[in-house]
Amino acid sequence: MIQKNIHYKIKRNNDIQKCLRAFNSYYSLLRTFIDRGVLKSSLDRGAFTHPSQILNKEFIDLLGTKRHRISLGYGQEAGEQILREKIVELENLKYGTNYKAENVTLVAGAWSGVELVIEEISKLYNGNYKKLKIAVIGPTHYQLFQRPIEVLGLEVLAFDFTKLEGSVPTQFYEIDEILKTKPDVVFVTNPNNPNGEYIPSDILKYLVRKTQNKNIYVVIDELQNFMPAKNKDIGYGKWIQQENIIRIDSFSKHYALAEYRHGWVIASNKITGDRYSGIVGRIRGFMGNGPRACNDVILKLIQSEIDYKKGKAHPLEKKWNTLLRKHDYIVKRLSKNSRITILPRDACFNVCIKVSGFKNDMVLSKKLMEEGTLIMPCEGYGYESEDVIMRITFAERWSKVFHSMSSLEKVINNVKENEG
């Protein structure tokens, strides 16, 4: 029997497909306003962030002008060996793990990694596969599950922790209730999306322990694990390296490299495989390399993170400080409006808010577009449209931040309560 104070909502395949339609509705509406040429600013997606807002000239030069000679050839199906070695060097330094290069497969972005992992766990071979049950701890980016639901016909059961006081499980019995549904896979976004809240490390560690030796995989999407707030951290230790734990990450948001479709999967060799098995076997001709110039940049960025962990200055610290000033500026402006509630944030460059006075998030989105700006509605992440939760990305140029905030204030102030 579910405890009375459990604060999640359950979604099934049909509900998740409704989230997918919400994304489609938003993008279709966005397209009409792009065609009309009225949009002047966008704080809706970090994927649109200009590299110049995150990277300095040294890294931008690497992307376009100073390529390493190795950038000109084909690479291994699993991805560039030297880059995989550098990834595990950083992981082992941070968490005391003992990963090896064979535990890393480079993929075309984290989204691609999720789909490949699910296909591998379901043992999709020769047209046959296991009908997995996937338990999702939300909110999360539900577009990740369109193919598993609509192509493979898998059962996805979402547990959306979508309350204002917090968007992650905080009690052990909440994990127990999720595991009572007997999933084959538990999918976790850490920190989550859109809020950027970390699952408490003791809760995640409990999930890892409870799934050991039970043929349950825990798949963790760590795409938003950067720019943590003060005294916030993902909280991993060597316990995160287990046979049933699969971790997925990318620098698409970290360092504004979304256009290069570059990410990686960290897992046991049973999952990563080789040219004819596992995730690597599924990649084959796609080759997990991304644009080779991007590899050069990621190599240098990871080395910078290694040096930073060892006490050296990071070459992008000035950029981070500028982003934090933008965060503080946005929060200060938002906090002055009585119709706005700011949701908790631990990491990433998003701020989520609840706005009162509007029928749903799409109504507010459309009014903002009419005013010339984009802010992301959160129904597609698991929130109810009527809750009017919006995600603001602060990794943008100051001029865009000023315009978008002014537009948001104007729209809110011009609408009477519940008439929006």
Would you state the pLDDT for residue 32? Answer: 93
Q: Give the three-state DSSP class for 392.
A: strand
Q: Which residues sit opposite 387 in a β-bridge?
A: none
- Structural tokens at position 42: 């966008």
For 74, counting Cβ atoms within 10 Å of its Cβ (0-12 exposed, 13-18 middle, 19+ buried), the class is exposed
Low-confidence ranges of the chain (pLDDT < 70): 1-6, 46-49, 64-75, 285-290, 417-420
97 closest CA partner among 271, 246, 237, 298: 237
Instruction: Describe the crossing of helices 361-370 and 398-413 by its angle, rounded to 10 degrees.
Output: 120
pLDDT of residue 292: 74
For residue 71, the model assigns a pLDDT of 46
d(CA 391, CA 51): 20
d(CA 365, CA 33): 11
pLDDT of residue 209: 97
Pairing between β-strand 155-160 and β-strand 9-11 as defined by DSSP bridges: antiparallel
Please tell me the distance from the alpha carbon of residue 184 to that of residue 135, in angstroms, as a whole number: 8
How far is 65 from 327, CA to CA, in rounded Å?
32
Q: Does domain 14-52+316-413 fall into CATH 1.20.1260.10?
A: no
| 3-state SS class at 157 | strand
Report DSSP state, residue 163. B
Q: Where are the alpha helices (DSSP H) in 96-169?
A: 109-121, 146-150
Give which of 32, 81, 44, 41 is closest to 393, Cα–Cα: 44
- pLDDT number for residue 73: 54
How many C-alpha atoms does 127 have within 13 Å on its Cβ side?
A: 0
> Which tens digit of pLDDT belongs to each residue from 388-408?
999 999 999 999 999 999 999
Contact partners, residue 54, CB within 8 Å, separation at least 6: 254, 255, 256, 316, 319, 323, 395
pLDDT per residue over 218-255, tens digit each?
999 999 999 999 999 999 999 999 999 999 999 988 89
Q: Provide the terminal-to-terminal Cα distance of the chain, rounded to the nearest Å.
A: 39
Distance CA 90, CA 306 (A): 6
Residue 291's pLDDT is 74
How is 221-266 classified by DSSP, letter by letter? E-TT--SPPTT------GGG--TTEEEEEESTTTTT-GGG--EEEE
The stretches of 97-244 forming alpha helices (DSSP H) are 109-121, 146-150, 172-179, 201-211
Pick among 2.40.50.140, 3.30.70.141, 3.40.640.10, 3.40.50.2000: CATH of 57-309: 3.40.640.10
- Residue ranges per domain, the chain? 14-52+316-413, 57-309
The DSSP call for residue 166 is B
pLDDT at 253: 87
CB 8 within 8 A of CB 370: no
Distance of CA 17 to the CA centre of its chain: 19
* Confidence (pTM): 0.93
Placement of tokens 């698991």 in the chain: 382
